[in-house]
Structure 1
Amino acid sequence: NSDLTRSRTIGELLAPISPFDKKCGRENWTVAFAPDGSYFAWSQGHRIVKLVPWSQCLNNFSLHGTKNVANLNNSRLPRQDSDGGQKNKPREHIIDCGDIVWSLAFGSSVPEKQSRCVNIEWHRFKFGQDQLLLATGLSNGRVKIWDVYTEKLLLNLMDHAEVVRDLTFAPDGSLILVSSSRDKTLRVWDLKDDGNMIKVLRGHTNWVFGCAFSPDSSVLCSVGASKAVVAAILV
């Protein structure tokens, strides 16, 4: 593919040395983009997730070329004011998840296919106020759901017994979340119903590493250490 041959590195983001756990340093376990392109998020080898406004990140790359951009604090955007002009404006910040973060996923009630269109109005999931959600899968088996703008913990899902290796939202905007775990299961959560767990999928005989929805959100395929692809029909 000619586009791939022309690809190039535009910059790097470096995680700081972990202040929490000496066994974990600067490893970057997972990354995610918000569906509307407003945020880029990555876990930094321990319990911290860094969120950076993607346009700001690109501007820093443009200014510095391919030079490592380890800290964007000097250009941090103002904090949001629920009564002022900064409400819901992307800004750089961190979320302390309380344990090592293995997986990330952004969620919204807007179908992903719409977010790829140009000049489309973006409506975030309303949970009392306009929100963009970030799901974090942790080493202790928990899945924590955060409001990206306020950094508030909205839901703490606790049914997995092992590391949550992967998270994915249904692309239809339903806010159905699927978590994949080393406990050999996938669990299906309905975030619009207070995070109610609606299904447990047990087709794997070993660790589950990841999963993906079909474009119409009706089929879920997953992979794991059992060297097989497992498909499940969810509707």
Structure 2
Amino acid sequence: CKTSERKSRGGKAEARSRGVAKEKTLECGQIVWGLAFSAWPAAEAGETDPACTVGLPCLILATGLNDGQIKVWEVQTGHLLFSLLGHQDVVRDLSFAPNGSLILVSASRDKTLRIWDLSRDGRQVQVLSGHVQWVYCCSISPDCSMLCSAAGEKSALLWSMRSYTLIRRLEGHQSSVVSCDFSPDSALLVTASYDACVIMWDPYTGEQLRTLRHVPLHSAVDYSSEVHTSSLRSVCFSPEGLYLATVADDRLLRIWALELRSPVAFAPMTNGLCCMYFPHGGFIATGTRDGHVQFWTAPRVLSSLKHLCRKALRTFLTTYQVLALPIPRKLKEFLTYRTF
């Protein structure tokens, strides 16, 4: 692999004087299937750090490749930090632990997930086996206690990020589960499936809380397609945890409010495969089969004081801890998302 840079016409001096940003390309030598960013902490004085100079944190990017390798890069310089070997097939998805621990989870077509610790020279910590089909998606809860994985199966698997053992199998879909995401407070988990449904779960109890069914809109559907018109491809939570975005094969991006069972907004799109909210809200990025990324305006909402309090509490309280509190039943139902 190598790094190449391109600048605007006029050379280095002109680029510097005008503040023109350079385009950087990381030459991985393989098809790139998965990407994940993380911050690498600044090196302390006297330390030798493979990524960052003393006192300056930096951004790293993990790339999942067609040959099963994972290559980790320092973004600013394009320096290759690690080549992680172990997977026997395409690395389909990657996820860094949100707490900055430099723990990386990879999901592969070899039907396994692997845990890597970049703070220990990229050591492989664990191999998680349990899927019988290709693993498409992996998501780590914001509190870093749980990992969800989705494969070409009717169930999703929930793992402990502390012991790296299987917690439970989430069963309820009628077709392959292909996408999953945790809410910002880790209190909810959503899974999307080819059965045209999104299921919202309590990850602590395994209870199904809500099912969102995708009904095709006739004006947006091309019935000449052989693909099931509502097969889901991707689901993600908004940063404040009040909305979901979904991409389906019926050529629609949908936005759902948690308290409703029908979408609050639609946008027409073609060949959609994935979606992601901007970290601060207000925009959604979608990726397509034809190589495009599109950006969409999403509803901005001012969270109610009730929701902010619930979100703050659920950041450090599990469902079982909430249920054990000496508070009224209706308040417990609200805090555990049984009511909105």
TM-score band, normalised by shorter chain = 0.5 to 0.7
Matched, 1:103 2:137: yes
Q: What root-mean-square deviation, in Å, do the aligned CA atoms of Structure 1 and Structure 2 show?
A: 2.2
| Corresponding residue of 1:68 | none
> Matched residues in 2 for 1:162 and 1:7: separation?
43
Matched, 1:169 2:182: yes
For residue 157 of structure 1, report the CA deviation from its aligned partner. 0.7
Based on CA coordinates, which of the two structures has the bigger radius of gyration?
2
* Paired-residue identity, %: 19
Unaligned runs of 5+ in 2: 1-19, 25-75, 217-229, 260-340
| Corresponding residue of 1:212 | 236
| Corresponding residue of 1:87 | none
Q: Normalising by structure 2, what TM-score?
A: 0.47
Q: 1:50 to 1:174 in 2, by over 3 A?
A: closer
1:1-235 to structure 2, matched below 5 A, reads: 2=21, 5=24, 6=76, 8=78, 10=80, 11-17=82-88, 26-38=89-101, 39-56=103-120, 59-60=121-122, 72=123, 92-100=125-133, 101-108=135-142, 110=143, 132-171=145-184, 173-192=185-204, 194-205=205-216, 206-235=230-259
Q: 1:227 to 1:9 in 2, by over 3 A?
A: farther
Residue pair 1:49, 1:97 contacting (<8 A) in 2 also: no
For residue 55 of structure 1, report the CA deviation from its aligned partner. 1.9
Residue pair 2:93, 2:137 contacting (<8 A) in 1 also: yes
**Structure showing greater relative contact order (alpha-carbon pairs closer than 8 Å, 6 or more residues apart):** 1
Secondary structure of 2:92 counterpart: coil
Residue pair 1:185, 1:204 contacting (<8 A) in 2 also: no
Bigger Cα displacement from structure 2, 201-210 vs 152-161: 201-210
In the comparison of the two structures, how many residue pairs are matched? 173
Q: Normalising by structure 1, what TM-score?
A: 0.66
> Matched residues in 1 for 2:235 and 2:92: separation?
17
Q: Which has the higher strand share?
A: 2
Q: 4+ residue stretches of structure 1 with deviation over 6 A?
A: none
Q: 1:52 to 1:229 in 2, by over 3 A?
A: same
Q: 1:14 to 1:170 in 2, by over 3 A?
A: same
